Amino acid sequence: MNFPLKFTRSYFIITILLFVIEILIALFIDDGIIRPYVGDLLVVILIYCFVKSFFNTPVFPTAIAALIFSYIIEILQYFNIINLLGLQNSKTAATIMGNSFAWFDLIAYTLGITLVLFIERLLAHKNPAQAKIKST
């Protein structure tokens, strides 16, 4: 399977918007819902949109790859990857990678990808000709 590079402006714009939202959440929100759960739900969508910004890949495999990547990062948190890499004093590393494992994060990632698949399906039904082109 060969997935050529293909810049998709709409996915890129969504990526930038989600990235800005994630930064704002990390810098300015310290609550019990938005930062830990909404941030995790959005980050997996950000990863998906980033990949789709540059690669013409099918929706489902891309979504699953983003989900698995997110799961791997979460599992690395379980094994204290920040400490193993000697980055325990880096606030940036802790913000990007996270520093504590939580089962609910895996659920948030799964809900985020479920939302992606739901929206992609809605868009495909709204514009079946475009969906057919994307799947080839």
The domain total for the chain is 1
What local confidence, expressed as pLDDT, does residue 90 receive?
A: 87
Residue 35 has pLDDT above 80, yes or no: yes
Instruction: Indicate the pTM of the whole model.
Output: 0.85
- Looking at the domain assignment, is residue 3 inside a domain? no
* pLDDT at residue number 131: 52
* 13 phi, psi to nearest 5 deg: -65, -45
Q: How far is CA 57 from CA 2, 10, 61, 130, in A?
A: 9, 15, 8, 14
Q: Do 45 and 7 form a contact (C-beta atoms < 8 A)?
A: no
Tokens of 60: 């489902």
Taking only the tens place, the pLDDT of each residue in 53-105 is 999 999 999 999 999 999 999 999 999 888 888 888 888 888 777 778 899 99
Q: Is 46 domain-assigned?
A: yes
Residue 24 lies in a domain: yes
58 contacts 135 by C-beta, under 8 angstroms: yes
Q: Is 5 helix (H, G, I), strand (E, B) or coil?
A: strand
Residue 110 contacts by C-beta under 8 Å, 6 or more apart in sequence?
67
Whether 99 maps to a domain, the answer reads yes
Confirm whether 4 is domain-assigned: no
Contacts of 43 (CB under 8 A, 6+ apart): 18, 22, 70, 109, 112
| Domain carrying residue 40 | 9-135
Q: Is residue 43 part of a domain?
A: yes
What is the per-residue burial (b if ≥16 Cβ within 10 Å, else e) of 9-27? eebeebbeebeeebeebee
Nearest Cα residue to 73 out of 94, 49, 50: 94
CA distance 1 to 16: 28
Percent of the chain whose pLDDT exceeds 90: 66
